Amino acid sequence: MDASNLRPARTLDMSGSFCPVPIIETAKAVRALPLGEVLLVIGTDPGIESDMAAWCRATKNDLLGVARDGRVLRAWVRKRGGG
């Protein structure tokens, strides 16, 4: 799946923030979304890629994809679990 074509219900720009802040803010944002909606998280912390995958596994949400463009990472998360 090419996640870059998804239309997120919300975008969370965490550029300049480092672990654990992007995951904490992602959890808050996902909790506020209806089931099935997509959150786009933008960040510059290289740890986001592995942290987001681990968080999605732990919370039963779907990590639809991660794209890197230079220092910027974009992660698409679909709400499935409890957030």
pLDDT in tens, 62-71: 999 999 999 9
Q: What is the pLDDT of residues 10-62, one digit of tens each?
A: 999 999 999 999 999 999 999 999 999 999 999 999 999 999 999 999 999 99
d(CA 80, CA 64): 11
Q: Return the closest-CA partner of residue 33 out of 72, 71, 76.
A: 76
56 in active site: no
Domains of the chain and CATH, by start: 3-75 (3.30.110.40)
From 19, 27, 42, 66, active-site residue: 19
- Three-state DSSP class for residue 61: coil
SS3 8: coil
